[in-house]
Each structure stands twice: as C-alpha cells, then as structure tokens.
Amino acid sequence: MPPSDVLTIGALAGAAGVGVETVRFYERKGLIPEPPRSPSGYRQYEPATVERVRFIRRAQGLGFTLAEIAELLDLRIDEVAACAPVAAQARAKLEQVAGKIDELRRMQAALERLVEACEARQPTGECPILEALEGDDRSP
Amino acid sequence: MPPSDVLTIGALAGAAGVGVETVRFYERKGLIPEPPRSPSGYRQYEPATVERVRFIRRAQGLGFTLAEIAELLDLRIDEVAACAPVAAQARAKLEQVAGKIDELRRMQAALERLVEACEARQPTGECPILEALEGDDRSP
DNA sequence: CTTGACCCCGTACCCGACTACGGGGTTACC
DNA sequence: GGTAACCCCGTAGTCGGGTACGGGGTCAAG
C-alpha cells in the first residue's frame, strides 16, 4: 500500500517551517528531488520530505552552505555508487563536523567562564570571549 | 612600554587570512574598533586584532551572523556594563551553542554509521543521513 | 457556479557579506 | 628621486540565499 497521504507544496512548507518559494528554490538547486505531479500539475510530496527540508535548515544554522548540504544529502551506497568514494566523502565531512564541535566547545567554555566571573562580581577585561580563547591556537 | 609593533591594515589582513577590504568592512560594521591612525592617516592595529578577525571568521563558519558575532564580542563586564544583563546574554548564547553542538553530534553519529555500513558492504537506503537522524525530533 | 485559498511559472527584486574600482596620497627600496 | 607596493576613501558590483510579483489555472465550500 503506497502512502496516499501526499502533501501539497504549501502543506510541506508549513510543516517544515519555510515559505512555499523556498521549497521551489531548493528544488531548483537540487536539494530536494522533483516530486511527482497531480494531473493538474500540482507537486505531490511524500511526508518524509518534511524532514529533508528541516535538515537543510538545521545544517544551514551550523554553517554549512547549500552546496555542502547537497553533498551530505547525496551520501548513499547503492548499485551505482561505489563504496570507497562515499566513505571518503563521509570521513571528510566527519572531520569538518568534529572541527566545528571543537570550536563550539571552546566557545562554550569561554562563555561559562564569563558567567562565573559575573556571579563572582569580577569585572572582566576588554573582551573576555577572545581572552578565554587566546592561546587555544591549534593551527601553528 | 606600549607595544610599538603595530600592524598596517594589509599586515593585519594577511595575518588573519582575509582581504584588506574585508577588514574595512568589519570596521564599518562595528566588529572591530576603529584603530588609531598614523600622522598620514594609516590605520595602526595592535597585534591582538588578528585574533579578533580570526574569531569572526571561525564564528561565521559555525553559523553565526555578523550581528550575533558582534554581540559575542561585546560581552564584557566593566564600570558601565551591569552584570545581570551580560550574564543573561551569555546564558542565551550558551544555549544557542549547546544546541549547535547537539545537532552536530547527531550528524556525527549518522556519518559514523554510514562509514561503518560502508565497511560492512551493506548498501544503504535512499538517504542514510536523514534516516539516521529520523526520530531524533526533540522539538514536539 | 462563484468566491477565496491554493497552485503553476517566470522574472525581478532584496539582504547579508563581501569584492572590485577609480582616483589620489605615502613609504620604502634601489 | 623614481617607481612599485601600499594606504586612503567612496561608490558600485557580485554572489548566495532567498522573497515578492504578476498573470493565470485549480479545488472545495457554500
């Protein structure tokens, strides 16, 4: 039984929290596949597409470009895609992700120190965030 | 003894890995303070500014806008800034950062599973990244 | 069987974040 | 003391990522 509960573009956009124009834009950019159409030409999305659009938005908030997000969404192994290049690509993305996590953690630590200083009523210097991050330079 | 090793805009840009125009752009946007000038009008940056510019770039890569980065850089406690609002602001940023780390970790796990599947020569479905992330919905 | 909400498409416009340009002064090296 | 490399400023152009518009077809409720 194929799921008969398809979504119009408006329903998809509403469920994913974006505008209708944004969905059509993502389609043009190849971020979401062209869906089947109703006899009158309306796009018919499967519910899973909602998750895809939400993922795009979340990934953007993490500093990925639409091109990078397209690469992430294209990662799959099947008859046509050999394993090795996919794994290599995935490993490259893993590094990128790990790097971001690292930087965010250092930022987190800096902010925590700032809040603590605040509670201890210690005035901070010029720019505590930067001061806290200084010397963290792991790229000689 | 004030540090006499000041940087020209070109030296700052070079050290921070951006273009000269970008530095002037950040200055116009208030992301880096207007530096003192030489008698002939040249900007004279202190070396610490390099870190500031690098921070801006890194934060951008983490999905922060220039406006958000300006807020981060402005977090400080001193005579004029009361403690409470600064701490509140810092806590808000902490939440934002924690959320990003969370999302990145789930992406990391999904990518790791993909690499494993690859090594086990198991073909994946349509879009393993999304499949791996499904059901993770912590926002009802 | 009309009316309002929705969909189609194409094109144009907007915003954030740069990037380039053009005309002129400055510094440093040979 | 020339000349290449750098700095000044203002304005304009670019690019990624949408957003809006306009003219037209479609669908469901009344």
What is the block-wise mean pLDDT of chain B (140 residues), using blocks of 10 residues?
79 97 98 97 97 97 97 84 87 97 95 87 70 54
> Alpha-carbon distance B58 to B52, whole Å?
10
Count CA atoms within 13 Å of residue B39 on its CB side. Answer: 0
Which of A79, A93, A104 to mutate to probe the B interface, most B CBs <10 Å? A104
B97–A79: do the CB atoms touch at under 8 Å? no
Query: Closest to B127 (Cβ–Cβ): which among A61, A76, A105?
Result: A76
pLDDT of residue A137: 47
Strand nucleotide closest to residue A31 (CA to C1'): D17
CA distances from B44 to A35, B8, B20, B34, B40 (A): 57, 5, 13, 9, 11
**Tokens encoding B137:** 């919905």
Closest nucleotide to A19: CA versus each C1'? D19
Q: Which residue has the tokens 């490993």?
A: A91
* Interval A10-62: pLDDT, tens: 999 999 999 999 999 999 999 999 999 999 999 999 999 999 999 999 999 99
* Weakest mean pLDDT among A39-43, A80-84, A126-130, A131-135: A131-135
Note the pLDDT of residue B120: 81
Tell me the chain B residues in contact with residue A133 when contact means C-beta distances shorter than 8 Å.
Answer: 51, 55
Could you check: is the Cβ of residue B45 within 7 Å of any atom of nucleic acid strand D?
Answer: no
- Whether residue A138 is predicted with pLDDT greater than 50 in this model: the reply is no
From chain B residues 8-67, the ones with a CB under 8 A of any chain A CB are: 48, 51-52, 55, 58-64
Predicted pLDDT of residue A82: 78
How far is Cα B27 from Cα B41, in angstroms, rounded to an integer? 15
Q: Stretch A61-86: mean pLDDT, rounded?
A: 88
A77/B122 touch (CB, cutoff 8 Å), yes or no:
yes
Residue B4, pLDDT score: 65
Average pLDDT over residues A63-76: 95
Q: Return the pLDDT at A134.
A: 65
- Residues A110 and A135: their CA atoms lie apart, in Å, by 12
Which pLDDT score, from 0 to 100, does residue B2 have?
Answer: 47
> Is the pTM higher than 0.85?
yes
| B 72-131: CB under 8 A from A | 72-73, 75-79, 83-84, 86-87, 90-91, 93-94, 97-98, 100-101, 103-105, 107-108, 111-112, 114-115, 117-119, 121-130
In terms of DSSP H, where are the helices of B8-65? 9-16, 20-28, 48-61
Amino acid at B61: G
Provide the 10 A C-beta neighbour count for residue B100: 23
Q: In this predicted structure, what is the pLDDT of residue A121?
A: 73
pLDDT of A136 strictly over 70: no
**Protein-proximal positions, strand C, CB < 7 A:** 6-10, 16-21, 25-27
Q: For A90-112, what is the mean pLDDT?
A: 96
Confidence band (pLDDT; 50, 70, 90) for A70?
very high
Chain B residues lying within 8 Å of A91, measured CB to CB:
115
Higher model confidence: residue A84 or residue B101? B101
